[in-house]
A and B are shown apart, each in its own frame.
Chain A
Amino acid sequence: MIDKEFQVGRVLRASTRGFAIGCAVMQPDIPAFGSFVKAELEASGQLIYGLIYDVRVEDDPFVRQFIGANPPDEVVLDQRENRQVPIEVEILAVGCGQGDVIRHCLPSQPPVTLDWLYQCTDEEVRAFTNRFDYFRLILEAREAPSDELLASSVRTAAAARPEGEREAFLVDAGRELVRLLARDPSRLEGILRRLRA
């Protein structure tokens, strides 16, 4: 059973390449660009791992009216906490797992509407990022800002590690990027610089 503390939102729509979830409120660190998230397929028990690559706050008719009316603070707070339209979060699928086995590939099935999406724990992030095979899925994703997403996810994965291991992790990730992007040195350098940012 997954801890509710890490719930991000429920699935709005999904495909094997990625999915969108909706959440009511935005907490300080959930959902965040480049975060590792997971959804559990109840039927098979398979876990789908993804990376948040877009967080969209849509308007609604009330908000439109309030924009010009200079609402009082309590109205602003009410609109934020009791939203009519959910905050939409886009996720790129980068892996799946069953038990202790994690594979960096697209899932065989997408999650189902209204399935819960959870933030990965640091331990899960470390386990998932032991290898860098998922880099290719990010680099080839047209729907996502892949360079930014890749750099951000690597920084997130580094932060999930003890401080003494972070530098070595970043270097290893950088070397994998060198291998993947050898034909495009300017793009490579751009991502490597973002890793340090």
Chain B
Amino acid sequence: MSDRTPEQELEAFLGPRPPEPLPVEQLGIVVGGSLSEGLTVKLDRNTVIEGLAVGRYVVIRGQTGRRFFSIVTDVQLDALNPLIEKSPPDTSDPFMAQVYGGTAVFGQLEVAPMLVLEPGEDEPKPVKTVPAHFTPVLPASEDEVGLIFGREDEAGFFHIGEPLEMEGTHVALDLERFTERSAGVFGKTGTGKTFLTRMLLAGLIREDVAVNLIFDMHNEYGWKGQTEGRQEVKGLRQLFPGGEVSVFTLDEASSRRRGSRVDAVVRIGYEQIEPEDVDSLSSLMALSDVQVGALYFLRRVLGRDWVARLLDEDDPLAELDTALERGTIHGGTLGAIQRKLGMFRRFDFLGHGVSQDPVRQILDFLDRGRNVILEFGRYGNSLEAYILVANYITRRIHEHYVNRTEAALGTREGEPRPLVITIEEAHKFLDPAIARHTIFGTIARELRKYNVTLFIVDQRPSGIDPEVMSQIGTRVTCLLDDEADIRAVFSGISGAATLREVLARLDTKQQALIMGHAVPMPVVVKTRTYGTREFYAALGVGLSGDSDEDFEQARTLLSGDPQGAEGI
């Protein structure tokens, strides 16, 4: 006969009981508000008001078992009697302070209910009603955050950070949805846009939800990057040494100096440039409408070599004599175009008689599922070069995708892999004056019709065409100061007014407000730190060993063995 109690017997059979979860402390109760304006929550006296911040998640437990997932949009101080503000009591006496605190004077929250979870269901739905007066408000638990955003161990989800004041709770982004529409990372300079973008790209590559083409203006994504403290972090190529990432460069010398291992050097022949490519630079080159119109005329008359011939000062351009005589084209216009195209002479990646087709090469990589990073080297400092090349490549790749998608219409087979194109300084491509004409404006408006979406990185969202901006499905926004920029990132987002304060109060570093298509409700996250041992380990990257060897090998290849860089 055992001398153990029945409980001990059960524990011996079933194993020790899991520890009882700690009771969640109530923050306060709902005391007013509306669905459109948000709810007012009176904080309990034991709730430390300084411990609450805008952007934090709370859960309101309704009378019917519904859970209303809400976000804190404002924190306020209030008093039972406004007179107390004119004549405050002597709170140097701890007794008086204790009595008044939380009763005569108290804290309030404004919270915006976003989603509701019906009892017995695990799929949150948009909120259509509000909880009653005096409904308790509690901090959201890790399980509840997981219920809303999904879990990082699910396929297609990637841990991007922690909600405010919820250390250890992971917010996972649904990358399938992230790539379903164009997305953007916004924030003023120095707020960590690049690190955030690189982390999101790492997620996209790891989860293999889409293939990426990254126009790497400042050479920060490929082999390695630097923190503001000049500390080196691994680039995507090092993070994914298994061949998932390929690096192309426009500036081989720069890549070699930086020790970057590249797969190919991109060169573009003058004869491959079309008037549309030059048109995308019209604002930067100060081309007038007449001059832009003349580009198309010149292409038609001079043929494929039109750029080379216009740049050749010795070419008499005899074909244009008649047109000049008739006044079809003005001599001044022709001269201005020639002068302005002269800028191309500074770009060594442009030249005569380039036989290879860089677009074909990139497409081959993309079709094989290899993500392509195009480093600009020293040309990253030239906005003209960046826009020219990005437009040139994207226009052709998009055309290819359109053809392939249309060919595959009706059957899923043969459809190209979803492609995400990352561009920086996006407002230069998507300026209201040119967005309607550029390929990037077209892609943004098409959503995922042809399996191509944009991932734009920008510090000046107010410079982006509002129509394009309204098509940006997921917006990851770091701190923005400018009122016009704040207004721009909220365009087309319902309930934006309540989130303005949240955005304006973000930390300057490592905090972002994520809203839109990929998240069921807006979330402020302390973004995951890129470049730490933990981050590398989570992605399964060794800290030394192979990766460093790769680095040294690449350096050797680039400096000593030209086969390391395969010219196109």
- A contacts, CB < 8 Å to B: 167, 170-171, 174-175, 177-179, 182-183, 185-186, 188-189, 192, 195-196
Q: Is the CB of A178 within 8 A of B95?
A: no
Instruction: From A171, A186, A188, give the contact of B95 (CB < 8 A).
Output: A171
- B contacts, CB < 8 Å to A: 45, 80-81, 83-84, 87, 89, 93, 95-96, 98-100, 102-104
Instruction: From B83, B93, B99, give the contact of A178 (CB < 8 A).
Output: B99
Instruction: From A171, A179, A185, A195, give the contact of B84 (CB < 8 A).
Output: A185
A174: B residues at CB distance < 8 A: 95, 98-99
B99: A residues at CB distance < 8 A: 171, 174-175, 177-178, 192
Q: Is the CB of B80 within 8 A of A171?
A: no
Closest A-B pairs by Cβ, 5 of them: A174-B99, A182-B80, A178-B103, A178-B104, A175-B103
Would you give 7 A-B contacts (Cβ < 8 Å), ordered by A? A167-B95, A171-B98, A175-B102, A175-B103, A182-B80, A185-B104, A186-B87
The residue on A at minimum CB distance from B105 is: A178
CA distance A174 to B104 in the complex (A): 10
B83: A residues at CB distance < 8 A: 185
The residue on A at minimum CB distance from B81 is: A182
CA distance A186 to B89 in the complex (A): 9
Given A171-B98, A192-B96, A196-B93, are A185 and B103 neighbors across the interface (CB < 8 Å)?
A: no
CA distance A177 to B100 in the complex (A): 10
Q: Is the CB of B96 within 8 A of A185?
A: no
The residue on B at minimum CB distance from A189 is: B89
CA distance A174 to B98 in the complex (A): 9
A170: B residues at CB distance < 8 A: 95
Q: Is the CB of A183 within 8 A of B81?
A: yes
Contact residues of A: prevailing secondary structure: helix
B45: A residues at CB distance < 8 A: 175
The residue on A at minimum CB distance from B87 is: A185
Q: How far is the CB of B102 from chain A (nearest CB, A)?
A: 8
- With A192-B89, A196-B95 known, 10 other A-B pairs at CB within 8 A are A171-B98, A174-B98, A175-B102, A178-B80, A179-B103, A183-B81, A185-B83, A185-B84, A185-B104, A192-B96
The residue on A at minimum CB distance from B88 is: A185
CA distance A188 to B80 in the complex (A): 13
B80: A residues at CB distance < 8 A: 178-179, 182
Q: How far is the CB of A181 from chain B (nearest CB, A)?
A: 9
Q: How far is the CB of A173 from chain B (nearest CB, A)?
A: 9
A195: B residues at CB distance < 8 A: 95
A186: B residues at CB distance < 8 A: 87
CA distance A192 to B99 in the complex (A): 9
B84: A residues at CB distance < 8 A: 185
The residue on A at minimum CB distance from B100 is: A178
Q: How far is the CB of B24 from chain A (nearest CB, A)?
A: 24
Q: How far is the CB of A164 from chain B (nearest CB, A)?
A: 16
CA distance A182 to B83 in the complex (A): 10
A167: B residues at CB distance < 8 A: 95
The residue on B at minimum CB distance from A177 is: B99
Q: How far is the CB of B406 from chain A (nearest CB, A)?
A: 71
A192: B residues at CB distance < 8 A: 89, 95-96, 99
